[in-house]
């Protein structure tokens, strides 16, 4: 028990890291579930890299300043999302190809901008985050983004679920289709920026998508998947932080690797559609 409790009881930086990870787990995982249901999981990965140039510009202007990097990341992410949609609408290029192109340009440009002014340490900070160095301002930002995300999802929950099931039907009976899509993309960008502050650009999407994929093997309903995803992300956060503390591993990759292990266990032995249930299906009752 001391191995589990003492790091969080004795050290303030571990308490801050845990609070920040729990905030991200509550806010990012519902967005990840809807990304998965809408078959947009790779879109989340691309958007995670799209915020890098904006964060890099903020870094060039103000150094490792939370506000500047956050504003830059949000602006860059929203710009890439809007440009992707515009290119897909006015040219023959499909949206997935357009997004892939902008994501590759953004990743290369962001790394180049950080390298112009900073050291390799600064580049690693941007790419992999510093969850063990979260301060009060970062925690307030993470909790605020989580609050905004949950409140917004509660307001658009029904049309968002309908769009996952049948977007053409929603477009035919309601004007919510377009606004819901762009509101949802804004939530994706906000939560990627939140994850970026703690886990870095390359790891932020992991805490969003892996718990959502894990939840698919434990629940059939959307509400069930939302709960399981949040619990999975929280458990992975605790395990990853403990691994980082006791074994000296990088905290961000340790958290994402823990989430990956939970996903692999669920893939093999989860009660809904896993490899085990496919290999050994339950016998049906005779009528």
Q: What is the DSSP string of 232-266?
A: HHHHHHHHHHHHHHHH---HHHHHHHHHHHHHHHH
pLDDT at residue 182, as a whole number: 83
pLDDT at residue 213, as a whole number: 94
Evaluate whether residue 258 is within a structural domain.
Answer: yes
Mean pLDDT across the stretch 108-112?
80
Evaluate whether residue 112 is within a structural domain.
Answer: yes
Domain tally, the chain: 1
Please report, rounded to a whole number, the percentage of residues in the chain having pLDDT higher than 90.
34
Evaluate whether residue 33 is within a structural domain.
Answer: yes
Looking up residue 236, the CATH number of its domain turns out to be: 1.10.3470.10
What's the pTM value of the predicted model, to 2 decimals?
A: 0.86
pLDDT at residue 287, as a whole number: 43
Among residues 55, 101, 87, 13, the alpha carbon closest in space to that of 202 is found at 55
Evaluate whether residue 232 is within a structural domain.
Answer: yes
Evaluate whether residue 287 is within a structural domain.
Answer: no
Evaluate whether residue 284 is within a structural domain.
Answer: no
pLDDT at residue 120, as a whole number: 58
Mean pLDDT across the stretch 210-220?
94
Each residue's pLDDT tens digit, 154-167: 999 988 888 887 77
| Structural domain of 105 | 2-272
Return mean pLDDT, the chain. 84
pLDDT at residue 162, as a whole number: 86
**Residue 264: partners with Cβ closer than 8 Å, 6 or more residues away:** none
Evaluate whether residue 283 is within a structural domain.
Answer: no
pLDDT at residue 59, as a whole number: 74
């Amino acid at each position: 028990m001391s191995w589990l409790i003492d790091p969080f009881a004795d050290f303030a930086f571990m308490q801050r890291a845990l609070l920040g990870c729990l905030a991200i787990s509550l806010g990012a995982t519902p967005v990840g579930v809807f990304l998965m249901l809408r078959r947009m999981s790779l879109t989340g990965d691309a958007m995670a890299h799209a915020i890098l140039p904006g964060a890099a510009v903020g870094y060039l202007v103000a150094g490792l300043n939370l506000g500047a990097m956050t504003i830059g990341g949000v602006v860059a992410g929203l710009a890439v999302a809007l440009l992707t949609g515009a290119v897909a609408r006015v040219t023959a290029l499909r949206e997935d190809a357009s997004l892939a192109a902008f994501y590759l340009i953004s990743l290369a440009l962001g790394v180049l901008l950080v390298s112009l002014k900073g050291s390799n340490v600064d580049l690693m900070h941007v790419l992999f985050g510093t969850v063990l160095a979260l301060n009060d301002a970062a925690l307030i930002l993470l909790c605020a983004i989580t609050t905004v995300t949950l409140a917004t999802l509660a307001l658009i929950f029904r049309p968002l679920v309908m769009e996952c099931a049948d977007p053409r039907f929603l477009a035919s009976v309601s004007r919510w289709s377009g606004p819901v899509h762009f509101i949802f993309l804004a939530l994706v960008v906000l939560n990627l920026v939140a994850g970026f502050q703690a886990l870095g650009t390359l790891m932020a999407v992991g805490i969003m998508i892996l718990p959502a994929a894990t939840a698919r093997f434990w629940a059939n309903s959307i509400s069930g998947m939302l709960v399981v995803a949040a619990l999975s992300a929280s458990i992975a956060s605790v395990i990853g932080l403990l691994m980082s503390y006791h074994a000296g591993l990088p905290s961000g990759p340790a958290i994402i690797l823990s989430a990956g292990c939970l996903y692999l266990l669920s893939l093999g032995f989860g009660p809904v559609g896993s490899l085990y249930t496919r290999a050994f299906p339950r016998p049906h009752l005779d009528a």
